[in-house]
Amino acid sequence: MQRALDHIVYAVQDLDKACDDFEKLLGVRPTFGGYHPTQGTKNALIGLGNHQYLELIAIDHENKNVTSTRWMGVDLIDRPQLTRWAIKSNNLKKDAGILQQANPELGNINAGKRHTADGSLLAWELLMPLAHPTVELLPFAINWGDKNVHPTNALDTHCKLLNLEGYHPAPASIKDLMHQLGVDMKVHKAQTMALKAKIKCPLGIVDI
């Protein structure tokens, strides 16, 4: 059974510029999401249908409390790009055990939160994405708890995710773990790791 994708993460250096760029690219203006106070990042979101979304994430330079390397590869990118993706989970401990076969640090369960644009608090539990590498093909898992609470509730749906594919120097090395997670994502052999998405939007079909 194919696991349900929750969201894809697109790391950028400048969130305002990225929102302008995506509005021109897709014909949809990303909605400012809010801040991750414990991670030193902020985001903007685009609904993709099926309770899925695209997250644009950037460093929150106003947050001086986070001095370590931030999650999702935001400190490592030299250009805007997809760096992570998340699957929905109702059993984080089981998913943690699978991911820890690749890297023990991938299985840490953390409670996360951020303030939304209207000032309310959105909370979740997830398997903590790491700061390194820049791109991680193995998904992290997230549980929003209350099924009625999800970021897409506040998003218009003008776009749809058509496809997500990965690129990896040794695709066979992660094939079994993907299978254990219930993920059926096509992974191509390539020199460097990358994620590529195809999105249908008001301006047509766009690859990011």
CATH of the domain at 195: 3.10.180.10
In the predicted structure, residue 116 carries a pLDDT above the cut 90: no
- pLDDT, residue 153, reads 85
Q: For residue 91, give its domain range.
A: 5-207
Closest CA relative to residue 165, chosen from 137, 196, 141: 196
Average pLDDT score, the chain: 92
Question: Average of pLDDT values for 105-125?
Answer: 80
**What would the two tokens of residue 64 be?**
């001086």
Please tell me the distance from the alpha carbon of residue 207 to that of residue 161, in angstroms, as a whole number.
10
Question: How many domains does one find in the chain?
Answer: 1
Tokens of 36: 């991750």
pLDDT tens digits, 8-38: 999 999 999 999 999 999 999 999 988 888 8
DSSP letters along the chain, please? Answer: -PPPEEEEEEE-S-HHHHHHHHHHHHS-PPEEEEEETTTTEEEEEEEEETTEEEEEEEE-TT--S--SPPGGGTTT-SS-EEEEEEEE-S-HHHHHHHHTTT-GGGG-EEEEEEEETTS-EEEEEEEPPPS-SS---SPEEEE-SSTT--GGGG-----EEEEEEEEES-THHHHHHHHHHT----EEE-SS-EEEEEEEETTEEEE-
pTM: 0.92
131-159 tens-digit pLDDT: 899 999 999 999 988 666 788 988 889 99
From its phi and psi, is residue 68 left (phi > 0), alpha (psi between -120 and 50) or beta?
A: beta
Separation of first and last alpha carbons in the chain:
26
Residue with tokens 């089981």: 94
